[in-house]
Amino acid sequence: MWILGLNTPPAGWHDTAACLIDGDGRVVAFSEQERHSRVRHAIAEEGSQPVDAVAYCLAQAGITLRDVAVVAVGWDDRQLFPGRFADDRHFLQEALGSSFDAGHVPELVRVPHHRAHAASSFYASPFTKAAVLVADGNGENESTTIWTFADGSEPVLHHSWPRTASLGYAYNAASVWLGFNHLNAGKTMGLAAYGRARGLEVDRLVKVGGGDYQLAVAPLAERPGRSTDDDLGRDYQRMLLAWRAVYSKVAGADGPTAPLERLHEDPAAVLVAYTAQRIVEDVMGELSRAAREAAGVEELCLAGGIALNCSANGQLPGPVFVPPVPHDAGVALGAAWTVRPPVRREGPISPYLGVAVGGTGDRAPEQETSGLARSEASVERITDLLLDHRVGAVAQGRAEVGPRALCHRSIIALPDTTDVHTRVNRIKDREQWRPFAGVTRPDYGSRLWERQEHLNRYMLGAARATAHADAVAPGVVHVDGTTRPQVLEGDEAPVVGAVLDRLSVLGHPAVLLNTSFNGRGEPIVNTSYDALRAFRKMDLDFLVLGDVLYEKRNR
């Protein structure tokens, strides 16, 4: 039995994705459409269906759509588009685009958005029972939910907040006020750290207590009956305008006065970013406590776009798990697992589920490689390059899923100076005030930052850096004294793991700067072709592509 999970239009209008699981709930393949189309977030437009992601998943399993028994979608489109589709065949034709096989109509299962989010986190976790907190922009009619999930039992929904009480809307409005795209919330989070570092006192625009919260922008009047897509659009625009007015009042201005590259120098911009950040931190802190109380366990899973907020995640006590795909792409996985939960779970999910270098779906390099020196990718040579303060990239094995590069599609460097921070931001054409993450081994990680049992697996929690980290890895310590660590437990990332081990043997600090391998405005590289193209375009010194090392001769 094969089950294909999707995040797809018409409801899934960004971060479209496909996931294929077998009859035991084992994930065979998972890929986001942006990695194939090279259009970041695969925002809803002509051709944004996850057709390439679907094709990859099917090819990885060696099957066709005729072998798929069930298609599970992480939205209930009937709530938002009543009467739009005459039947399941009509829906699948739109959802699958050119992938649709008119001769075979698999069973269609519509999974409510937040339930799919919750399933994607719990079943990816090592827990057998957990409280699950989902927070995002909106689902069909909700923006925040609390659940209990347990193996062998139906999930229990304890509490739901309407989409007009959305933390995502509040944070999006701050991002737009700052001049960012509403999908660039990570920039807002990075800027907010300057407010924390400066000890700013901010207006608390939310009241929390009793397992509930009330935002400064009062929820709009709820409409009777089911909401439609038109209602959602109107609500979003009204809430966005209301929140922007609040931030303008807080800042005493309608927008920043500094350009994007110098926002950290603009007191009003820092104030707005930190004000929005505190809203999220206050609510997530209160609701995590309430979720644990409702479930009767300390184990907590997070999902939804808000779960990408590493700063807020890192402040939560106790065991906290966030999957590598907590954003909307993850509902493809959660929808599939709602149909068939995994029979056997041997620990947290591996994030390496995408296209493999040299494997199914890989697009081989076609560019001329003149000017590049080619050799075997030996750990000795790569380590020597890094110790010589060269900056390189790695594209090896199956691509990781989610927005964090986890050493299969990464840019790496030695973080022993702040100069490397400046250079890598320049290489990626990013604002200089944006931070970088560090990667290390478990034993050395305990010397660099606070322990995070699960969050550091996928780089999804900010941790307080130690004085030792300040001394040996200043390139990955943000202005507020935190970093977003990744810890490699075994050989899941062979090149980076081997380099870390060799650094240790040579007596050097076993830590590297790790950031996503992509240029400005682009998704993380996917195929060999993408990797070599990006390497030539960017001011990088070397590239590990599979088992081959490329170096630029003029370096």
Residue 149, Cβ neighbours under 10 Å: how many? 25
Separation between Cα atoms, residue 367 and residue 376, nearest integer Å: 19
| Residue 356 near residue 60, CB atoms below 8 Å | no
Closest-CA residue to 251 (of 264, 270, 278):
270
Q: Which of 14, 41, 113, 114 is catalytic?
A: 14
Let me know: does 112 contact 80? Beta carbons within 8 Å: no
Q: Is the dihedral of CA 499, 500, 506, 508 positive or negative?
A: positive
Q: In what order do the strands lie in the sheet with 2-7?
A: 27-32, 17-22, 2-7, 70-73, 107-110
- Please name which of 329, 332, 327, 292 lies closest in space to residue 309, comparing C-alpha atoms: 327
Distance from C-alpha of 31 to C-alpha of 55, rounded to nearest angstrom: 10
Whether residue 96 contacts residue 54, with contact meaning beta carbons closer than 8 Å, is answered with yes
Please indicate whether residue 454 is annotated as part of the active site: no
431 CB burial (10 A radius; 0-12, 13-18, 19+): middle
Residue 196 near residue 129, CB atoms below 8 Å = no
Provide the strand spans (E) within 183-298: 206-209, 212-215
Query: Any residues with CB less than 8 A from the CB of 429 and at least 6 apart, and which?
Result: 519, 520
Number of other residues whose CB lies within 10 A of the CB of residue 381: 15
Q: 164 near 235, Cβ under 8 Å?
A: yes
Distance CA 352, CA 325 (A): 12
β-pairing, 398-400 vs 352-356, is antiparallel
Start-end of H helices in 62-184: 77-80, 88-96, 113-122, 167-177
Residue 91 Cα distances to 10, 86, 108, angstroms: 9, 8, 9
Alpha-carbon span 525 to 530, nearest angstrom = 5
Other Cβ atoms less than 10 A from the Cβ of 50: the count is 33
Active site residues: 14
